[in-house]
Amino acid sequence: MEPLVLLFALPLLYLLVKIWKHFDAKRDQQCYILDYQCFKPTDDRMLGTELCRDLMMRSKNLGLEEFKFLLKAVVNSGIGEQTYGPGVVFSATEHRPSLLDAISEMEEFFQDSLQKLFDKSGVSPSEIDILVVNISLMTTSPSFASRIINRYKMREDVKVFNLTGMGCSASLISVDLVRRMFKSYKDSYAIVVTSESLTPNWYSGNERSMILANCLFRTGGAAVLLTNKRSLKNKAMFKLKCLVRTHHGALDESFGCCVQKEDDQGNLGIYLGKNLPKAATRAFTDNLREISPNILPITEIFRLALLTILHKITSAGSSKLRRPKPAANFRAGAEHFCLHTGGKAVIDGVGKSLSLTEYDLEPARMTLHRFGNTSASSLWYVLAYMEAKKRLRKGERVLMISFGAGFKCNSCLWEVVRDLGDANVWGDCIDSYPPESLANPFLEKYGWIQQEDIATFKLPE
């Protein structure tokens, strides 16, 4: 009898051990944020109203109609007077930037944010196992990733990735890359470095579809330290729950709505097409459809399914009465919403689609006002605002949503591991936010341009 029991017990024990190992290995594949640091340039790099005026005035390619367009764009952008620009704007060399200028812009960010991240976390550069750098609009040889490795003397076996051309959604693509790497490498540290190179892409021409980028994009960046070390899970700030990427590059209309190119006069810049909102909406809708089952509770999914069935029944055969389709309540799946600061219209559009309140949209609006659109790093400024306002409590969830050229929409859900309250780059101004008014002084100071006649208009000396 005993040999018979042993005969059945051994395979069962083996099976149980294999199952335990499988689930135990899953625990080592988690992705946690240990710390992150946003970049704030020095105050002498602020693009105030008068400096922006001077910048417009010294462009020989702009006429009255372009000035009127810029005035309207700046006033409606949601950007304030304390955003930061690249150094070439302040040295009046934006129309002829050098390679050294572009590299210096990135190295200024690297040296500041990475050093602060290492100091805050206590993790040394030699402990980093994976490094992912994303700078969409510029690449050098050696790469920016290699420049970081050289400066901080990282190990020779560090796994390094240098991403370009991924647009404003690049930081979530980088996080996804780290998440996938963590499945193969246990007990690892990873750093995501995300920024954008404005120096060689500051547009000096007069095409409206390319001038607009100058009104939105600003200097910034962020460095994020991630790990899958089980021993550090209680020291982490956030735990990644899910991440979904949507890419509509196969659609010509979506592919061409946001492009780096030269105009007819050879001026390099970023083209933003009129069909961009449509492309963003399409990608956003598809992305939400995929991530919804992963973040919404079963009760909300059931409610939405029931309402959808009722909507189809009541709408059948009725072409006159068009009732709105039922929408999911995403507030049931997340307490906080970290939205890409692509512009006031982008924030308004996403807020309307998700039925968000002004409280939900405040972090994105304030980030746009204070720092502008810092491309792929903007999400981390929004997250830092939430933390500085002490909104983030243990167990709460943060839904991140970003858009990028391609056209792409990426989103992910983070769980707050512990109560958070560090001020990051908001330390010197968080008490003054939100301000009483987000009105831009451009209209007050330069509204007279709207009444000018093109036949008699002359630039003021």
Residue 322 lies in a domain: no
Q: Are the C-beta atoms of 402 and 172 separated by less than 8 Å?
A: yes
User: What's the pLDDT at 6?
Assistant: 57
Specify if 187 maps to a domain: yes
Query: Does 59 score more than 90 pLDDT?
Result: no
Structure confidence at residue 155 (pLDDT) = 96
pLDDT above 90: residue 357? yes
Q: Is the pLDDT of residue 447 over 90?
A: no
Half-sphere exposure of 369 (CA within 13 A, CB side): 20
- pTM of structure: 0.90
Given this model, what pLDDT does residue 371 score? 96
242 domain-assigned: yes
Residue 24's pLDDT is what? 53
Mean pLDDT of 45-50: 87
Q: Is residue 300 part of a domain?
A: yes
Q: Does 112 map to a domain?
A: yes
- The DSSP secondary structure of 246-286, one letter per residue, reads EE-TTSHHHHTSEEEEE-TT--EEEEE-TTHHHHHHHHHHH
Strand segments (E) across 343-426:
397-404, 408-416
Question: What pLDDT, on a 0 to 100 scale, did the predictor assign at position 147?
Answer: 96
319 or 276: whose pLDDT is higher? 276
Per-residue confidence (pLDDT) for residue 48, from 0 to 100: 85
Judged against a pLDDT cut of 60, whether residue 321 lies above it is answered with no
CATH number at residue 417: 3.40.47.10
The amino acid occupying position 196 is E
Contact between residue 381 and residue 38 where contact means Cβ atoms under 8 Å apart: yes
Residues designated as active site: 168, 247, 336, 340, 369, 373
What was the pLDDT predicted at 70?
Answer: 83
The structural domain count of the chain equals 1
Task: Give the pLDDT confidence score for residue 301 in this predicted structure.
Answer: 82
- Which of 59-73, 250-264, 283-297, 366-380 tops mean pLDDT? 366-380
Whether residue 140 is contained in a domain is answered as yes
Does the residue 404 lie in any domain? yes
**Mean of the per-residue pLDDT values for the chain?**
88
- Amino acid identity for residue 351 in this structure: G
Domain encompassing residue 340: 30-307+327-451
- Distance separating alpha carbons of residues 187 and 230, to the nearest angstrom: 7
Phi, psi of 258 (to 5 degrees): -145, 105
Q: Say if residue 422's pLDDT is above 90.
A: yes
Calpha distance 429→433 (Å, rounded): 7
- Asked if 124 contacts 154 with a C-beta cutoff of 8 angstroms, the reply is no
Least confident of 217-226, 258-267, 326-335: 326-335
Q: Are 386 and 398 in contact (CB under 8 A)?
A: yes
Of 100-114, 213-227, 358-372, 434-448, the least confident? 434-448
Distance between the two ends of the chain, CA-based, in angstroms? 105
Report pLDDT for 33. Answer: 98
User: What would the mean pLDDT of 436-455 be, rounded to a whole number?
Assistant: 79
Arithmetic mean of pLDDT, 121-139:
95
108: helix, strand or coil: helix
Domain contains 167: yes
CA distance 102 to 107: 9
What pLDDT, on the 0 to 100 scale, is given for residue 105? 94
The mean per-residue pLDDT over the stretch 111-123 comes to 96
pLDDT at 370 exceeding the cut of 60: yes
Q: Is the pLDDT of residue 304 over 80?
A: no
Mean pLDDT, rounded, for 96-106: 93
